[in-house]
Amino acid sequence: MKVPTNLKYTSSHEWVRQESDGTVTVGITEFAQDALGDLVYVELPEVGRQVKGGEACAVVESVKAASDVYAPIAGEVVAINESLKDKPESINADAFAAWMFRLKPVNAGDLGALLDAAGYEAAIAANK
């Protein structure tokens, strides 16, 4: 299972990438998509929505179950990956390429509280 070292992670299985413009890109991890199975539907947040860290703001649905996707930090949704509406299965193909939404953080320092790759791998191992 891939856990790229250049990303940050949440214990609820979101990955976070800081962009050069100060925004952060968010998706679900390979571990999460593998646990869900074949994705059939994705509900994304509205652009302009203000979210709190830990707030459910998107949904991924598979043939097995539906699962909330949480905002890793507080911020404003500035972009969504529209292509996921027609091709939710692209998350199954490459969870780290199929981003879901981008946030403009309220406080970029909040990223420091997220897990690094080693911390995320340890969290997964502890839950097995």
Residue 88 contacts by C-beta under 8 Å, 6 or more apart in sequence? 39, 40, 41, 42, 60, 61
- Please report where in the chains the tokens 């302009």 appear, as a residue: 48
Q: What is the CATH number of the domain that holds 63?
A: 2.40.50.100
* 37 found inside a domain: yes
Q: What is the mean pLDDT of residues 4-29?
A: 97
The total domain count for the chain is 1
Per-residue confidence band for 38, with pLDDT thresholds at 50, 70 and 90: very high
In a domain, 87, yes or no: yes
Q: What mean pLDDT is predicted for residues 39-65? A: 96
**Any domain includes 56:** yes
Average pLDDT of the residues in 8-12: 96
Report pLDDT for 64: 85
For residue 20, the enclosing domain spans 10-106
% of the chain exceeding 90 in pLDDT: 93
Q: Which ranges of 3-97 does DSSP label H, i.e. alpha helix?
A: 30-36, 83-86, 90-93
Question: Is residue 14 very low, low, confident or very high in pLDDT (cuts 50, 70, 90)?
Answer: very high
The pLDDT value recorded for residue 1 is 82
